[in-house]
Structure 1
Amino acid sequence: MLNFSSVLTLLVLFSVSAYAAASENVFSANAKYGVILHSSISNDTICKSLVQPQGYVCEEHNVTTKDGYILSVQRIPVGRSGKTADKPPVLLQHGILVDAAPWLLNSPDESLGFILADNGFDVWLSNTRGTKYSRGHTSLSPNDSAYWEWSWDELVQYDLSALVQYVHDQTGQTLHYVGHSLATLIALAAFSKQELLNMFRTAALLSPIAYLNQIPSQLTKAAAQMYLAEELYRLGYHQFPPGWDVLAPFLEMICNKPGNNCSDLMTAFTGPNCCVNSSKAGVLLEHEPQPTATKNLIHLSQMIRTGSIAMYDYGSKDENMGHYGQPTPPPYNMKSIPKDLPLFLGYGGHDMLADIKDVKTLLNDLKDHDKDKLAVIYRKDYAHADFILGVNANQVVYDPIVSFFKLH
């Protein structure tokens, strides 16, 4: 049975955010593609809660995708010195079940969002569809199941393209990109399809997710092998997390399977993070966890089970034919990523999601990449969260990223 510590951790990781309902109407159905310099969303915005208190200028923008989702974006155009950015824009994209907040939670000297701004870059932070500040849509409500009919395929096709185009249009410049976890998969998938390449200067990929079938996290594997996400979707829960009362029985089944240890779920899922400041836990919980589509988790589970990187599998040849014109989902071929695209990859020895073996499979696909366009950093002591919340990441990860950006 789950002990008290497990229950508390599960609640933290998977319960529905208390403020999710309050943010249903973050944007009206008539919200337009544009900028909100003086946001009327609420007093609780990323700019107001995390950026401005640190002494930085911050703008709230919103971007509408071609399929109608209205995404919240924050811009930090000025460093603490007051000097306007004189270097190209950088788009920071977060991973799954979080929003842009982790890029800003540590001190300004330790948070990548602030470090880039202080180095003269024009910083843009995006928030994926369905998260607290990106719950708007031109015609749908988050209460509609249709709102949650997407996986990371749509994040590639619609979200990333809209965000990159918007930043390019606003600044008149090509941009650098930093992604963590799922955001690395989105970028790699786009690059493999030769999409958006003329918009990017470089891409820095932290805890890169591509291949997933060798992950050592037994809990994650068990959830995929038990078709947990598929069962939730079948029961009508198209938003994840669906609520503790729904999720608890499934998680208890996973935790009771032989070999699964739920006494420390954060470590069990992501690996033992060496360098995350535990005093920031309270601040983190003010922003996370964030919702995603259950279909998104189904897609990731398919990758864990098959070891392939492909579009969403609809489960039958007929359905796949209807969507793709072929009986199997089209693959994303990592070997087709242009060899002259400047890439920076950072991965950790204790990461249980972006596992060493899976990352090395990706690196093997990139073995013919131009040597002067590929930088790889390996931190033996790092796990998944250390790359965005580690107190020493400024020295061992972020300084090299800044140097890489300046080089290109």
Structure 2
Amino acid sequence: MIEKHILFKLKIIIILLTEKNSFCNATETFPMTTIDMKTVVNSLVSGDAFNVNNLLNLSEKYSKDAEINDIDSDIYVYGKYLNTSELIVKRGYTAEEYKVTTEDGYILLLTRIITGKSGPHRPVLFLHGLLSASDQWLLPGCNESLAFILADNGYDVWLGDQRGNVNSQAHNKYDVDSKKFWDFSFHEFGVYDLPAFIEKILAITEASQLSYIGHSLGACEFLIMGSERPEYLEKVKVSILLAPFFNPPRISQSLILNTINLFSPIIMNPLVRATKYSIFPRTKALQTAIQRFCSPEVAIDICLTIVGDVVGDNRKNLDRKLVPFYLSSVPAGGSLKTTEHMVQSFKSGKTRHFSYNLVENLRRYGQITPPNYNIKNIKTPIALVYGNNDGFLKTKSIQRYAKELKNVVMNYWVEDPFFNHFDGIFGKNAAELVHKKLLKLLNNYN
């Protein structure tokens, strides 16, 4: 089995290094006929892919002569960015911001949507995935966003921002530029951040329990909390895990992810040089470059092809006018250690504690390999929602670990065969295929 696994990886790399994939036809606004996957791989290995200036230069070069028209909205304007609270206010609601301090000293942002409507206002917490931020839940608009839909249906919606992203870069002891500040992986998300959010919300609302919705790594951290901090499970009525990252497949559907997986020791060196301890920070320049470069008038199909390889290509399910804003919201910052932890999960096919070296693993864990997270004793009602076209995950992997969970009340494989990793948030059909079911589920538990 190991030999077949290695041979399959080698076959993938040969394809990557030899095949040329036409990303789009030549156009007047984007005079680029083909991009080959060898270029993508070389960019990853050399570190050029992590250089924001490269994207800025491309953006300037190819959007110079293009007419990029602002869409008809005061919210979405190219080159303009609204944070979570501003998006809430622009949509006609009121926003409240709270600072949450974790047990290990990180200061996180927690944002609340206030509708002004009467009702029981049952609390529900949303948490984003890797390199994302809380604003991702709001970008599709009032009728398509699960957060707004729940707010309009009597729920007290709270949006959290994990340590290290653009909204949560503070500590009561460490400076954000120090190595110690960035010494965390997604282990700390589940052990410290999620419990801190839960405590804060229950203290303010005086409720005894809340509901939870996590996307991707946000789903993973709930399972980590259930393994490492089981006392907090009693504070959660029901947990909805969208595109849940946990025990991922060693071979994914993504050629780019498989390349990163195989060449991670080589890629990590230029990544460290380019980013130090943090990775893909959100900046005004980067967001503007992505919005301009990935606009419908410039190179949207190139962007969708590259991103689609990683998350699953379902471009027909996206509002093309909003794609530049979706893509520019994802680089929200995080730690290099978190990314390394995810690579370790792909390599082993298991979600375990962070692996250091043999000596450090023995010191920390009493064994040379890091221990697995034990999810068998999680009795909280759990809903799993995922698609068949997810570049990160595989249906079989999710169904395999779902059998370990004690109380799966919904195991929903979305009917759309092209439903991908982000369609539960940005997909045009998410409101009909997913959000209605989740609202009904939440109502049953509230």
Superposition TM-score tier, normalisation by shorter sequence: 0.7 to 0.9
- 1:70–1:57 distance in 2 versus 1, CA, 3 Å: same
Mapped to 2, the partners of 1:137 and 1:308 lie a distance apart of 31
Residue 89 of structure 1 pairs with residue 123 of structure 2: yes
State the match for 1:134 in structure 2.
168
> How much has 1:139 moved relative to structure 2?
2.1
2:304–2:313 CA contact under 8 A, matched in 1: no
Map residues 4-403 of structure 1 onto 2, 5 A cutoff: 45-48=83-86, 50-78=87-115, 82-173=116-207, 174-193=209-228, 194-212=230-248, 213-228=250-265, 230-232=268-270, 235=273, 237-241=276-280, 264-273=305-314, 274-285=316-327, 287-316=329-358, 318-338=359-379, 341-366=380-405, 369-370=406-407, 373-379=409-415, 380-403=417-440
Match of 2:403, SS?
helix
What is the alpha-carbon distance in structure 2 between the residues aligned to residue 15 and residue 170 of structure 1? 42
Q: 1:348, 1:384 within 8 Å by CA — same for their partners in 2? A: yes
SS in 2 for 1:147: coil
**Where does structure 1 lack aligned partners over 5 or more consecutive residues?**
18-42, 244-260
Give 1:295 shift. 0.7
Quickly say closer, same or farther: Cα 1:59–1:262, change in 2 above 3 A.
closer
Q: Which amino acid aligns with 2:214?
A: G
Q: 1:76, CA displacement in angstroms?
A: 0.7
**Structure 1 counterpart of 2:364, which letter?**
H
Give the SS at the match of 2:159.
strand
What SS class does the counterpart of residue 110 from structure 1 fall into?
Answer: coil
Asked if 2 retains the 8 angstrom alpha-carbon contact of 1:233 and 1:295, the reply is: no
Higher relative contact order (CA 8 A, sep 6+): 1
Number of residue pairs the alignment of both structures matches = 357
Q: Give the distance between the partners of 2:402 and 2:393, measured in 1 at CA.
A: 12
Amino acid at match of 1:197: L
The Cα shift of 1:313 comes to 0.5
Secondary structure at the aligned position of 1:407 is classed as helix
Shift of the alpha carbon at 1:288? Answer: 3.3
Residue range with higher mean Cα deviation, 189-198 or 61-70: 189-198
Q: Which runs of 4+ in 1 moved over 3 A?
A: 1-11, 13-17, 232-236, 285-288
Q: Deviations over 1:355-393 (max 9, x none)?
A: 212212222323xx347x344343322001101111221
Alpha-carbon distance in 2 for matches of 1:124, 1:263: 30
8 Å contact from structure 1 (residues 16, 289) kept in 2? no
Quickly say closer, same or farther: Cα 1:262–1:103, change in 2 above 3 A: closer
* 1: CA distance, partners of 2:330 / 2:400: 31
The Cα shift of 1:129 comes to 1.2
Is the 8 Å Cα contact of residues 84 and 120 (structure 1) preserved in structure 2? Answer: yes
User: Aligned equivalents of 1:16 and 1:142: distance in 2?
Assistant: 20
Distance change in 2, residues 1:15/1:197 (3 Å): farther
Amino acid of the structure 1 residue aligned with 2:220: L
Q: What's the offset of the Cα at 1:333?
A: 2.2
Q: Deviations over 1:323-355 (max 9, x none)?
A: 2233321211233322xx211111101111122
| DSSP-derived class of the 1:405 partner | helix
Measured on the aligned residues, the alpha-carbon RMSD in Å equals: 3.0
When residues 208 and 169 of structure 1 are mapped into structure 2, their CA distance, relative to the original with a 3 A threshold, is same
CA distance in 1, matches of 2:197, 2:354: 22
Separation of aligned partners in 2, 1:312 and 1:77: 38
Identity over aligned pairs, percent: 30
Find the residue that maps to 1:399 and give its secondary structure: helix
TM-score (norm 2): 0.73
The code of the aligned residue for 1:282 comes to P
Give the match's secondary structure for 1:201: strand
State whether residues 255 and 309 of structure 2, in contact with CA within 8 Å, keep that contact through their aligned partners in structure 1: yes
1:211–1:361: 8 Å Cα contact kept in structure 2?
no
Change in CA separation of 1:232 and 1:86 when aligned onto 2, cut-off 3 Å: farther
8 Å CA contact retained: 1:69, 1:137: yes
Contact 2:107 2:169 in 1 (8 A): yes
Q: Does the CA contact (< 8 Å) of 2:245 and 2:393 recur in 1?
A: yes
Q: Normalized against structure 1, the TM-score is what? A: 0.80
Output the CA distance in 2 between the equivalents of 1:44 and 1:107. Answer: 13
Residues 15 and 398 of structure 1, relative CA distance in 2, 3 Å threshold: farther
1:275-318 CA-partner distances (Å, limit 9, x unpaired)? 121211233355331111111111111111111221000121x2
Unaligned runs of 5+ in 2: 1-16, 24-31, 54-80, 283-301
